[in-house]
DNA sequence: CACTTGACCTGTCCGC
DNA sequence: TGCGGACAGGTCAAGT
């Protein structure tokens, strides 16, 4: 489930490997996953150079020399994997995954003029890639609505407090999953941050103190920064631009740990359903009767 | 208007 | 063993 740390890890990998390369061809076999007409692709993608990468929330952009950009959303099972023969030939530690590409999950293949390749794989076909003028990115509806980037300076105590208080009668988890509150949080990091802040996912925001909101804000920053350092979380499908898995899941406190002991108090982690998502909590550390 | 639920998909896992 | 069904979750559209 690519969330902020995973998408940012992919972006950094792409920035390192594909900026400066020139696109030779783009082929796709999943029309819904790439809604633009082939003619536009031909005009603005073929022979274009990749001039930069950008991330906003969970969305990724590859900026092209034609003043167009490819906007990519990995949704749950998307992967962007770069294969350059000079780097990932026989003997590379991730050779096993790389050598399987293209796979039956491959939706888009971008070949560069130097014979290296970028694969967009997506098992569940929820992800997509769109071509648009770079200048129109900010007008894409869900980009325009995005809240602050949690690892940037803009994510202040006051900004977070105001956004959360606007949703005072909602539960904490529903609010954290709302991309207009904080950009880039998904199911994994919502659970992890709420555990760290000792807040129950169904607790109403209106009943929480300002101090509790600030504790949560710091927890969000700490968790996301730690996960980024670990290369993100590989629960099932996620890999970075070099095909490598992330290791945050080994450090997870509650996510996918139902039935196991809480690392903090020893109680048994439980899994419930909150805001339509599988939700992991420690019933003692996040006791709904004793909320901060 | 604020919030919740269902649709989009496929692979995996569970129980019978 | 085979098979049906539940489940996984990011975002938008539709429903309450």
pLDDT tens digits, residue range A13-35?
Answer: 999 999 999 999 998 877 777 76
Nearest nucleotide relative to A104: CA against C1': B10
Contact yes or no for A123/A105 (Cβ under 8 A): yes
Angle at alpha carbon of residue A187, lines to A182 and A193, rounded to 5°: 65
- Using a 10 angstrom Cβ sphere, with 0-12 exposed, 13-18 middle and 19 or more buried, the burial of residue A123 is middle
Q: How many Å from the CA of A174 to C1' of B12?
A: 27
**pLDDT (0 to 100) of residue A86:** 56
Q: How many residues in total does chain A contain? A: 292
Question: Which residues of chain A between 225 and 264 are close to nucleic strand B, CB under 7 A?
Answer: none
Given a cut of 50, the residues of chain A with pLDDT beneath it are 87, 89-91
**pLDDT (0 to 100) of residue A141:** 83
Question: Which residues of chain A between 164 and 183 are close to nucleic strand B, CB under 7 A?
Answer: 167-171, 174
Q: Report the candidate in A49, A17, A48 with the shortest Cα–Cα distance to residue A119.
A: A17
In strand C, which positions have an atom below 7 A from any protein CB?
7-12
**pLDDT (0 to 100) of residue A158:** 94
A124 touches strand C (CB under 7 A): yes
Percent of chain A with pLDDT over 70: 94
Contact yes or no for A273/A264 (Cβ under 8 A): no
Counting Cα atoms < 13 Å in the Cβ hemisphere of A162 gives 7
Angle at alpha carbon of residue A215, lines to A209 and A219, rounded to 5°: 145
Contact yes or no for A138/A152 (Cβ under 8 A): no
**pLDDT (0 to 100) of residue A90:** 46
- Closest residue by C-alpha to C1' distance, nucleotide B5: A276
What φ, ψ does residue A71 adopt, rounded to 5°? -100, 130
Residue A227 C-alpha from the chain's centroid = 11
**pLDDT (0 to 100) of residue A60:** 94
Contact yes or no for A8/A57 (Cβ under 8 A): no
Q: How far is CA A65 from CA A62, A89, A134, A266, A268, in A?
A: 10, 29, 10, 55, 54
Nearest nucleotide relative to A2: CA against C1': C10
Q: How many Å from the CA of A273 to C1' of C16?
A: 20
Q: What residues of A are annotated to the active site?
A: 2-3, 58, 277
A177 touches strand C (CB under 7 A): yes
**pLDDT (0 to 100) of residue A29:** 76
**pLDDT (0 to 100) of residue A89:** 47
In strand B, which positions have an atom below 7 A from any protein CB?
2-6, 8-11
Q: Please tell me the pTM assigned to this model.
A: 0.94
């Amino acid at each position: 489930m690519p969330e902020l740390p995973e998408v940012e890890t992919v972006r950094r990998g792409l920035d390192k490997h594909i900026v400066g390369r020139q696109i030779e061809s783009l082929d796709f076999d999943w029309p819904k996953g790439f809604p633009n007409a082939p003619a536009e692709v031909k005009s603005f993608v073929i022979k274009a150079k990749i001039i930069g990468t950008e991330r906003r929330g969970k969305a990724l952009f590859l900026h092209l020399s034609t003043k167009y950009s490819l906007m990519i959303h990995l949704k749950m099972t998307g992967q962007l994997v770069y294969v350059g023969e000079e780097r990932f030939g026989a003997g590379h530690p991730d050779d096993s995954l790389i050598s399987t590409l293209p796979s039956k999950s491959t939706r888009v293949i971008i070949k560069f003029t130097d014979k290296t390749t970028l694969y967009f794989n997506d098992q569940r076909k929820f992800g997509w890639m769109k071509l648009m003028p770079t200048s129109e990115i900010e007008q894409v509806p869900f980009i325009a609505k995005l809240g602050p980037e949690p690892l940037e300076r803009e994510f202040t105590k006051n900004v977070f407090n105001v956004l959360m208080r606007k949703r005072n009668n909602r539960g904490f988890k529903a609010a954290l999953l709302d991309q207009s509150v904080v950009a880039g949080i998904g199911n994994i990091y919502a659970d992890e941050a709420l555990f760290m802040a000792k807040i129950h996912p169904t607790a109403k925001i209106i009943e929480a103190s300002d101090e509790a909101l600030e504790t949560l804000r710091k927890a969000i920053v700490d968790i996301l920064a730690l996960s980024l350092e670990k290369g993100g979380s590989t629960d099932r499908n996620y890999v970075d631009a070099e095909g490598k898995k992330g290791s945050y899941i080994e450090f997870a406190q509650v996510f996918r740990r139902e039935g196991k002991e809480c690392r903090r108090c020893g109680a048994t982690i439980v899994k419930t359903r909150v805001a339509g998502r599988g939700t992991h909590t420690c019933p003692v550390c996040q006791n709904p009767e004793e909320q901060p």
